[in-house]
Structure 1
């Protein structure tokens, strides 16, 4: 007896992959995505600022600075010339820190061909404006389809070919609904699919991006409590309630709660909150153990996206009147000098709420009426 195919429930459509993909950003994730695209059969140009990194990629097929010991896919063409990387590209992936997305989009706007889709592969919310990365790109790039690639994806595991899944999200126009196989989301998903890298398609750009931005802040919270000596119960609670904070913010911006339960929300949150390979989790763990911020990562200037996003996420939530107590706690500890243990103790004794929230209950917590108790004593 032969096994049935996995996809019996709906007919499969054919989508045309993009032939040439420009990947802007030769860090760990940019190099991993370039490897994925090359393994999928695409012609790949990988741009980076650091000539030594690009020389290593071209000469040795490796990026020892950001992905040490890992062979990249043969045939990736590295360059420090942005115009050369974009010349003739049919799709563009921007894989740089979120703080630099606006500047990069301004730089490439006159260089990319008409209608070429751009996928932002950075996660965050712009401080001040409250804009998601896709909104920034759309504002700066004008008449180009703009989307994101997001999901539970560590760069080294992706580059090594471990089974990995990610979501490709673009807003769908009317024409995309009529012919979804010709949409930028479908074509880019096919362009990036390999035997080990599985893509999913979404039309909920907001929901996908909110998951990617908020999960970094929640991961810092999980790390803080882990470093402070708390165990798996605490982490599970923070992950679950953190996902609820994601849902609230996504919904307030027009996103779908269902999206947050997918790869870019629950999936990415679970991965980031479960491993010290995550810089966000690692930072939180060090802070929870009492290491001063200046001494974390052995004093190296490591960029931690969730540290910056703790401000931008909570600023946006306050503007929209969305309650996000875990993210607020992280902000107060990181940026307002609040005591870590006391902050979480107060959060744990906040009013008792209903789950599901539709019940609408809010009860005073008994501990809130008692003199403030150190979190160390609560744990015992």
Structure 2
């Protein structure tokens, strides 16, 4: 089994990185890489597969022990910087740069991975820049970002960029089916509903509550008729986003707390000595920040699902002939398409994007969602007719 087997729809990128991992000359291998691609394209998955190949003693296909250590982030020659916050702090990058100066202990290379490198400020990026300008001979940097335009030009000039494309629904479905052990039908539907986002496809395929929340979101949007529906709908969308965020973070928070208590030598439910309480308070503060970010991510997932809904309606209105993301709702989508024009649907899609920008700009989510849903109101009569106020 190869370290590259868990990736979908990226043959060109895999070929480039596999050749680099197997290289014995500097022609194919370089000390700094940037993996770019849209959300869900598998940037971090590819980064860790590349890391496992570089750290393996068995060549570019990797070996099981190294692969497990990389997946668990426990390999002694692997350092990782990821964040749940909006930005990566300068102290985090300084610490990573400092550790990059050490020689590898058991492998050919020391590998430094930065997920979401686009979250670095200019000042923080300049700290990293110094490390990229004069790297130790056997240190390899792997950065991940949506686009190379998200990084400073000075950093872009010092990395080799590997660009990922959006994998096809079929590629993602095949990966989910074999990796998660679900039926071909469930995998295809999850990949289609996730619009080829690998992480979300996995979640929809393996979590029935996530599927139910998505279905409720679409049904709610299709049922918006009055201003009262708008207010109630916005409140319900917030509840759905909160439940989704809680489901993602709750289990992880419990695991982190249990691990922290164990490392401090405190039994679960036992009394925490005063001198150790500050460390647990820091963990709790980090978890609160992550919960806030998770709620925003949950709202963003809802808005992405709504965009897919209105995209399908627009597809039917202009007879584009493209495959529908929400094919199971074809009759409902066709009925909704008859109640509005293509221009109105485009206006609603613009409102969804505006809501996303407002929420990112710290506008109260309830207000942003209400303003967005106002444009989603449609008459009760499938053939048109007067709208209920």
Higher relative contact order (CA 8 A, sep 6+): 2
Identify, as 1 or 2, the structure richer in helix.
2
- TM-score for the superposition, normalised by structure 2: 0.31
- TM-score for the superposition, normalised by structure 1: 0.32
